[in-house]
Structures are given as structure tokens and as C-alpha cells.
Structure 1
């Protein structure tokens, strides 16, 4: 066998002899797959959109792709679940509304352009991608089919890096998606549509997996990461320690949003369609935090003055003239000394989820010292990170003073 030794050992240890990759498809029976329950979990997590893998690099189609002859016997209708796994989730997700933003959840599709084991692809590659048989007979028919059938408002492309976007005909397809498809008005897509587009062109940039630039990126970007640090699927080998904690995930969310990103968090279902409880635990933990602190995350923008004060473990976001300071560690002396916000005579500071005002003092030479309340367990609003809402900061306030009441309502987020 010429596979990766670790994987060969795993299959030999766990399966009968002469077990091929194809045999795994029969294992994928999805008997405990409950798309409505998945949608409920994702809704409660605070997620605003859900992206399902329609096809990964091994080419197996998770939707009813039977209209495309080149997907024969390697899709969920012909082998394995014998149900439209993707279609059922798309219906379930579009039917639920976020409890935190009261917006309908959006459905998106991940799709790998290339395939590991496809002869047509290998033959195109052998011509240095001058021939496009694989694209014409497989990639494009799949993409058009997915959009026409399921109307996804997000397309998350992957597996494009062997060739330029010309080979994949990406521009031609995306022009159709953005102007003529049934979701043209709301459609967004990522940057993985060819070697020449990765991290450059797209509605949002993903650049690399687990992308965290650590600074403000002016173009909208997304951090796609996994709860199980070892895998983008279900890894039966994983130990408890290999899963990110709820706190790590919340801190990642805060850092990502402060720098103008979104977080796309991967969970790995089992072959029987079940969603392991550890993923649900993490999702609910994030949701619990967002149920309190959502106002500092949803619909916010990064603060152009500063995004992060590392010495205070504090990140900033803004919305509707408010500055939100999100701190991920409680300071030893119960005081936060922030360099960047300048309070004015109108400034009020409060903590989201806590009733009383929070006292503060100007720091000579700029900044503000905030005296945090003593939070006993019965009144602490949340765990893992806390949010101060700061009104009338000089840096955000200068263009408000001369407005009449109500003028601010015309600004859109």
C-alpha cells in the first residue's frame, strides 16, 4: 500500500483485511442524523450562518447529485445514507431564527474544486491544465446544481491551489452566481477559486485555515477553525485534551471580530449522523456568552483608533456610537487602565449584564481608568470575558454633538 503509514496502520488495526477507502461510504449510514436538531444547536450557539461540506477532496457528494452522471455511485443517494443529507439541513437551517439577532440563519455550501482520486482531474493536470474536461464534466455541473437546488447564500470554495482561476472557470461561474442565480441579491463567496485569487479576491478572505492575522484587516475576512484541533471531521482517536475549551473559543471569537473577521467553527459529526456531545457543549457555551454579550459582537465594526490593548487583555468593537471594551482576563487590582478611549463629560460606562454604572477616572495624558465592580457569583453576568459599554468617547463623539435628535438613525450598520 502506498498510503500515509499512520493511516494505513489505523485502517489495518480497525478494519478487516482488504478494506478500501470506498468501503467507508457504506459505513456512512446517517441513521441518527437529525437536521432539525442540528439547526436547533447551531441557532442556540449564536451562529448566524451554517456551512455544510457538499463535497470534500475525496469527491463524495453529500447531496442528491444524481443528475450529474460523473458523480454516479459516489453520492449520498446511491451509497450510504440514501437521503439528501445537504438538502435536509438546508431546509432546517433556513427555517430557524437566531434568538440573539432575530434574523433568519443563512445556509452556505463548502465545495472542493479538485479531487484526490479523479482520473479526469489527473489527466487535465498532465496537460498542465490546458485541458478542462474535469471542470466541464464535474466541477461546474456540481456548482450549478448546488446553487440551483439549494439556493445557498454563501459559497465556500476550497481545493483550488493546483491551478489558476482560469482553469476552474471561476470568474464565469461567479458572475452567474452574483448576477443571475436565484440568490444573486444576497450571495457572498470566499477567496479560494484559484492560485491567483487565494487571499486576494473574493467577498471575504480566508487565506489559510485557522487564519488569524492578529491585526485589523480592512477587507472582511473569516477565521475557519476546528473545535477538535486534530481534525476537520470526527476523529475517533482524539483525546479530551485535544478539544479547544469554551474559553479558548470565546477568546478567539472576540479577537477575530475586533480585527474585522467572522468565525467559522467546525464540528465533526459521526458516520451515524450523530453530533458528539462535546461539540454541542462548546457551541452552547459560546451561545450562553453571546446571549449576554451579543450587542458587543453582532453588527459591530472594528474601532479605527485601536483594536487591542494587550497589556489589559482588552479588545474593542463599536456600534451606534458606543465603544465596547471586551476584556478576556480579570485584572488583579479590579481596575482596567485603557490608553485609547478618551472620556468626555457625557461618558457613561456600564458592564453588559450588570445593573449599576461603573465608575471611572481620566488618566492624565490620555486614557481612562475603570474601577470594576466586585462581582460575587450570584451577580456575575458571564464567564470567560466581560464587556464594558462606553458612551460618548471623544474619538467616536465629535461628529454627534451638532446633530439634532434622531439624525443618527439614518446611519446604517
Structure 2
């Protein structure tokens, strides 16, 4: 038995040791008010750049878009379905009675090397990926217990593609692993029956969708859950808030996981960890809440297209411009790549990602962990966008110039220089002379720079130290 003095010392020791361990004692309730009160894990805002990977059975026909099945055999009462181009493609190239399920065996993935993919994603400068675990077609890229004979282990590559990708990303721990998961499935009989019942039944939810999500989280521990395919039914049908409350309270990734806003009809752009609002969401003005601009390099499709042409892909200049504008307004950029059925990333995608990574090696200081400044776009120069950081007692504003100032002078209308202001160029040694222009604005003298010392080829970042708002 402990003496009173010993017991008191023990209590003090326990209290002291407990005080040293931070404790998030909040229990999130299954309602949006509680869920939305959870602080967004800091890593997501700091990351700024992610890679989206859209890969599935639709990668086999690789024609028109990832909605190929729906555009081929969707109900005629549905908008934009079927589409004549897709119907004609099937009539010309495939035998009668060919089914969409017949495509799955040709998702061979024989050249899929997840370590090679991981090295490309790391080289891009991305800090997280979102891997398509299941699209609206219902085919799962992992051996799900809830998708018998319609998964990547039972038919097609005979591999756990989600598991292999997750393991590859965690080898170096440089890029976080996340998953995309579609709530609904176009032609699943259980879903169609629930839909016919006006979503008063939930056989599909509790028989497939929710079991898949719990399975993905417990087995692969993704740190991004990117939900989609939710828009036809309300969140109470999907049981979304119960899942997210479990995710935030009890899951193996409860402290670091982030979620998007696609959890039921009327929820998008209102609730969730971060907002996506619409595909390719790039508002161009500062947002009150964290958002993500999910966009494609192939401007016509999220999935791989064999008939894509060069002019259908974003140039590296356009990609960098999109990143800069998105980050300036407080968002993250999620850049989509579309692998082939063989498990390869086409050279056009790899080139864009590696070029983006080279640019970030020089200009990443203005992107990662930055914050929106008072101004996003310059008041005089539409080709200049701003980010900022508070570092070592000074405020650094980054003026990212999308077009090099040909006149030898960069005129800015937003920043006001002071007596201790300094101007430098990321990736270039030396400082630049400048003058103030009235009560606000400044003109920076940009001398001719030797080609051999140009820090990068697309978009340049002038660092303005200690300027006023």
C-alpha cells in the first residue's frame, strides 16, 4: 500500500505527465455542425498540390471519357445518355452482345510498377495523391469483400492495385496516400431499387457503399477520402455523417485524415473538410473556406483517351498558371492523370508533372505553406498573383509573374514599399532596385538577365520582403 506522501507524489506525477501529452478530447457528433467544427489538419493546407489518378475498366475502351458505360447504355430518360458517338463506336468495333463487363478482363495492368508511379508523383512536387479506388462503374481496384467478381483481384489484373499503390507511396513517406470512392453505381440493382423507392430504403448503402468505405479506411489507412457520386440522394440516405464521425473519432487516421464535400445532395460546397464545389473549381478570388481545384490535364476527360490530341492537353504554362491562381486564392490544386489499361502513365502526363516539379524546385517557397495575401491579383498588372508568409519576424510577399516584364520594369499596384523593403527573385542571386509610386505601388527595375542564369522557363517569383498591405 502507498503512503499518503507517496500517493500524492504519484498523483502529481500522473498529472504532470498528462499535461505534457496534447489531447484532442473532442468527440464529433454525426451532424454537419459538429463535423464542420473539426479543424482541418494543417498538412493539407500546407501541401498545396496533389495528384488525382483516374483508372478503371473505362481505361480499356479509353474512348470519349470515364463515363463511357453510362454514355453507351444509360437510360434514355437520363440527360445526355446514350450518346451517339459512343454507341457508334461500340457498333463499329465490338461484336453484338458485347457487355461492359467484358472489358474488365483487358484491364491487364501488366506494366504497372507502383514504385515508378511514386517516383513520378514525387518528382512533380505533389504532397498527396488521390487514387481512384472505385468509380461510378462499381469496379473496385482492391479485392473488396463487397464487390464479388467485380474487382481487380477477381477479374483483370488479378492484383490489389490500391494496396500496391499505398505501399509504394509510403516507402519514402514524401507523398501522402488518399483514395477516391464513388458512393453510387450507375447500374447496380440494389442502388436502382433504392432509387425507385425514392431512397426510403438503404439496401445499397449498408450492403455495399458504407462497408467498402470502412474496409478501405481500416485496410489501407488513406489520409484523404475523396467522395463522389453522391448527388442523386440526400446525405441521410448515404449515412454520411455517421461515417465521417467515426472517421474523425475512431478510425486509424482520425488525427490526419481530410474529407471533401461530396456526401449527399445539397452538401457540396457547404459541408465537409474542404470544398470542391464543382469540377475544375477555380474561383479567382479568395475563399473563406479551404477549397480544392480538381482539374484535368486532358481538358476533355478524367480517364485515358486513345484518340486524344496534343492540343487537348494543358500546356505547362497553363498548368502553372492554374496552380498559381488557385493557391493565391487559398486553394489546393489536384492535377488529374489518366493511366492506360496496361498500367502505364503516358509520356505527355509524365512530362507535364516533371516540368511542374522543376518549376516548384525554384518557386516552391512561394507555394508550399503559403497563405493568401491582402490582394490576390495585382491591381494594375493582371499577370501578377500574390501569396505571402510570415517568417523570422518579417512578412514576405511573393509576386508571381506569369509573363516576364519585357520592358525592363515590373510595375505593381498593390504593394507599398517601406524603408526596409527588399526585392529578390527566387532562384537568382542578387537584389533588384525599385522605387515607390505614390501612396501605393512600386516599380521594380529588371535588368537583362543572362540566359544561363534564368531560374526557370515559366512564371517567375519576385520576393518582396517587408512591404505594406
Question: Structure 1-normalised TM-score?
Answer: 0.91
Query: Conserved in 1, the CA contact under 8 Å of 2:227 and 2:262?
Result: yes
Query: Conserved in 2, the CA contact under 8 Å of 1:204 and 1:222?
Result: yes
Query: Conserved in 2, the CA contact under 8 Å of 1:158 and 1:192?
Result: yes
Q: Pick the aligned partner of 1:85 from 158, 161, 177.
A: 161
Query: Conserved in 1, the CA contact under 8 Å of 2:412 and 2:442?
Result: yes
Aligned to 1:367: 441
Shift of 1:54: 0.5
Does residue 41 of structure 1 match 2:120? yes
CA separation in 1, counterparts of 2:408 and 2:288? 34
Query: Conserved in 2, the CA contact under 8 Å of 1:257 and 1:302?
Result: yes
Aligned to 2:308: 238
CA separation in 2, counterparts of 1:356 and 1:373? 12
Q: Which runs of 5+ in 1 are unaligned?
A: 98-103, 396-413
More RCO (CA 8 Å, sep 6+): 2
Q: Pick the aligned partner of 1:314 from 360, 376, 384.
A: 384
Stretches of 4+ aligned residues off by more than 6 angstroms: none
CA separation in 2, counterparts of 1:273 and 1:299? 33
Q: Pick the aligned partner of 2:94 from 3, 7, 15.
A: 15
Q: Pick the aligned partner of 1:140 from 207, 210, 232.
A: 210
CA separation in 2, counterparts of 1:251 and 1:240? 19
Aligned to 2:50: none
CA separation in 1, counterparts of 2:422 and 2:257? 39
Shift of 1:165: 0.6
Shift of 1:53: 0.5
CA separation in 1, counterparts of 2:122 and 2:225? 20
CA separation in 2, counterparts of 1:376 and 1:336? 18
Query: Conserved in 1, the CA contact under 8 Å of 2:380 and 2:413?
Result: no
How is 1:244-283 mapped onto 2 (pairs within 5 angstroms)?
244-283=314-353
Q: CA RMSD in A?
A: 1.2
Shift of 1:340: 1.4
Aligned length: 385
Aligned to 1:399: none
CA separation in 2, counterparts of 1:41 and 1:13? 37
Shift of 1:310: 6.4
Aligned to 1:110: 180
How is 1:253-402 mapped onto 2 (pairs within 5 angstroms)?
253-303=323-373, 305-309=374-378, 311-312=380-381, 313-320=383-390, 321-395=395-469
1:358-382: CA deviations, max 9, x gaps? 1100101311111123123211100
CA separation in 2, counterparts of 1:350 and 1:219? 31
Shift of 1:47: 0.3
1:222-249: CA deviations, max 9, x gaps? 0001111111111011111101111110
How is 1:58-137 mapped onto 2 (pairs within 5 angstroms)?
58-65=137-144, 67-68=145-146, 71-97=147-173, 104-137=174-207
Q: Which runs of 5+ in 2 are unaligned?
A: 1-71, 74-81
Shift of 1:51: 0.6
Query: Conserved in 2, the CA contact under 8 Å of 1:199 and 1:205?
Result: yes
Corresponding residue SS for 2:438: coil
CA separation in 2, counterparts of 1:163 and 1:181? 25
Q: Pick the aligned partner of 1:52 from 131, 139, 145.
A: 131
CA separation in 2, counterparts of 1:390 and 1:117? 55
Query: Conserved in 2, the CA contact under 8 Å of 1:40 and 1:96?
Result: no
CA separation in 2, counterparts of 1:373 and 1:194? 55
Corresponding residue SS for 1:88: helix
Corresponding residue SS for 1:391: strand
CA separation in 2, counterparts of 1:358 and 1:133? 66
CA separation in 1, counterparts of 2:447 and 2:91? 59
CA separation in 2, counterparts of 1:50 and 1:168? 25
Shift of 1:339: 1.3
CA separation in 2, counterparts of 1:11 and 1:95? 42
CA separation in 2, counterparts of 1:189 and 1:96? 24
CA separation in 2, counterparts of 1:327 and 1:53? 34
Does residue 168 of structure 1 match 2:265? no
1:172-227: CA deviations, max 9, x gaps? 00000111000000010000001121000011100010001111002000000111
Corresponding residue SS for 1:343: strand
Q: Cα gap change, 1:310/1:264 in structure 2, threshold over 3 Å: closer, same or farther?
A: farther
CA separation in 2, counterparts of 1:250 and 1:14? 39
Query: Conserved in 2, the CA contact under 8 Å of 1:43 and 1:96?
Result: no
